C-alpha cells in the first residue's frame, strides 16, 4: 500500500501541474484569437493584390520579372516555419519532419552536394537544424516578438536577394496551415521562382465575362513597372501569410495539447485520490483492529 504522505505529495504536484496547463490553455486561446484576427485582417489586402496582379499580368509575357525565372535547381533553400516555444504537441516535430521529407525525397542529390540551405523561422526549427550541422542562414527567432508585415518582409527581402543573385535556384516553404483550433495541415509550397498560374480556360472565360477586365485603366508609370513592383509584394504576402498561419496553428496546437494535458491530469488526480482514500481507510482499519485486539487482550487478562 502506498505511503500516505507520498500520495498526498503527488496529488499536490499533479494539482499544480493541472493549474499550469489550464492557464496555458487559456493563454493560448486568447493568443489564438489574436492570431486568427491577423489572418482575417490580411485577407482583403491579399485578395485585392491578387486581383490586380491577375488583371495585369494576364497579357504580360514571361521573363518580365527576375522572380519568375525558372532555373535548374542546383542550390535549394528550404524555409521552415516553426515556433519559438514547445509544449504544443507534435506541432514543431511535424513541420520539421515534413521539411526533412521534402529534402530527402525531392532534393537528395542537392543534399549530398551540400547545396541545401535552411532558413528557420522560429527557435525550434533553428535549433534542430543547427544541431544537425545544416547550413542555416540567419536567425529569425525574434520575428514572433513583434510579428508584423514589415518585420516579415525583411526576411523575404533577404531570400529574394539571394534568389536574384543566384545564391539559390529554388526556394521552398514548409509551414503549418491553420484550418481550425484542432486541425493543422502541413503545406509545402514553392516560393521562388513564382509558380506559373495555371491557365484555366474556365477562369479565363469568366474573366472575359466580367466588365472589370475590359476597363481601360490609366497605368502609371507603366504596366511592366507596376507588375514588377507587385510581384515582390505578392511573394512577401505569401511568406507573411505562412508565418501568420503557422502562428495561429501553434496556438491552436498548444491549446488542444494543454486541454488534453488538463484532462489527463484530472484523470490522474482521480486515481490518486482513490488510492489515497484506500490507503487512509486501510490505515484506519489497521489502527481499529489494533485497538480492539489490544482492549480484548486487556479485558481477557
Partner 1 sequence: MTLEILTPDKKVFEGEAKSVTLPGNLGFFEILNNHAPIISTLNDGKLTVKGATEEVFFIKGGVVEALNNKVTVLAEGIIHK
Note the residues at the interface with partner 1 (CB under 8 A).
38, 41-42, 44-46, 48-49, 52, 56, 148-150, 153, 212, 215-221, 225-226, 229-230, 233, 236-237, 240
In the complex, the smallest distance separating the C-beta of residue 239 from partner 1, rounded to whole angstroms, is 11
Of residues 56 and 164, the one with the C-beta less far from partner 1:
56
In the complex, the smallest distance separating the C-beta of residue 81 from partner 1, rounded to whole angstroms, is 17
In the complex, the smallest distance separating the C-beta of residue 40 from partner 1, rounded to whole angstroms, is 10
Of residues 86 and 232, the one with the C-beta less far from partner 1:
232
In the complex, the smallest distance separating the C-beta of residue 220 from partner 1, rounded to whole angstroms, is 4
Q: Do residues 176 and 184 make contact, with C-beta atoms less than 8 angstroms apart?
A: yes
Of residues 12 and 219, the one with the C-beta less far from partner 1:
219
User: Which residues touch 250 (CB under 8 Å, ≥6 apart)?
Assistant: 35, 83, 85, 88, 91, 176
Report how far apart, in Å, the C-alpha atoms of 230 and of each of 7, 160, 236, 237 are.
Answer: 65, 14, 10, 10
Sign of torsion over alpha carbons 130, 131, 133, 134: negative
Distance between CA 259 and CA 89 in Å, rounded?
11
Of residues 82 and 153, the one with the C-beta less far from partner 1:
153
- Grid cell, residue 210, equals 466580367
Half-sphere exposure of 19 (CA within 13 A, CB side): 5
In the complex, the smallest distance separating the C-beta of residue 63 from partner 1, rounded to whole angstroms, is 20
Distance between CA 269 and CA 47 in Å, rounded?
50
Of residues 42 and 186, the one with the C-beta less far from partner 1:
42
Amino acid at each position: 500500500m502506498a505511503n500516505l504522505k507520498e500520495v498526498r505529495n503527488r496529488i499536490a504536484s499533479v494539482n499544480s501541474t493541472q493549474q499550469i496547463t489550464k492557464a496555458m490553455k487559456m493563454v493560448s486561446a486568447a493568443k489564438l484569437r489574436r492570431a486568427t484576427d491577423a489572418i482575417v485582417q490580411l485577407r482583403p489586402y491579399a485578395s485585392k493584390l491578387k486581383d490586380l496582379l491577375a488583371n495585369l499580368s494576364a497579357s504580360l509575357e514571361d521573363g518580365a520579372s527576375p522572380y519568375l525565372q525558372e532555373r535548374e535547381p542546383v542550390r535549394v533553400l528550404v524555409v521552415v516555419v516553426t515556433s519559438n516555444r514547445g509544449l504544443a504537441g507534435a506541432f514543431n516535430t511535424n513541420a520539421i519532419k515534413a521539411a526533412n521529407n521534402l529534402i530527402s525525397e525531392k532534393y537528395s542529390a542537392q543534399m549530398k552536394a551540400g547545396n541545401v540551405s535552411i532558413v528557420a523561422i522560429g527557435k525550434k526549427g533553428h535549433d534542430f537544424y543547427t544541431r544537425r550541422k545544416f547550413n542555416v542562414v540567419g536567425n529569425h527567432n525574434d520575428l514572433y516578438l513583434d510579428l508584423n508585415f514589415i518585420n516579415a518582409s525583411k526576411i523575404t527581402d533577404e531570400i529574394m536577394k539571394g534568389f536574384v543573385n543566384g545564391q539559390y535556384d529554388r526556394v521552398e516553404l514548409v509551414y503549418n496551415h491553420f484550418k481550425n483550433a484542432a486541425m493543422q495541415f502541413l503545406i509545402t509550397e514553392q516560393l521562388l521562382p513564382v509558380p506559373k498560374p495555371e491557365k484555366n480556360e474556365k477562369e479565363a472565360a469568366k474573366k472575359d465575362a466580367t466588365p472589370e477586365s475590359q476597363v481601360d485603366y490609366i497605368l502609371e508609370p507603366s504596366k511592366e513597372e507596376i507588375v514588377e513592383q507587385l510581384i515582390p509584394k505578392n511573394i512577401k504576402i505569401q511568406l507573411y501569410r505562412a508565418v501568420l498561419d503557422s502562428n495561429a496553428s501553434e496556438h491552436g496546437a498548444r491549446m488542444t495539447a494543454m486541454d488534453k494535458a488538463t484532462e489527463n491530469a484530472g484523470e490522474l488526480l482521480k486515481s490518486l485520490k482513490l488510492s489515497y482514500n484506500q490507503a487512509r481507510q486501510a490505515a484506519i482499519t489497521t489502527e481499529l483492529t489494533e485497538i480492539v485486539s489490544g482492549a480484548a487482550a486487556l479485558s481477557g487478562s
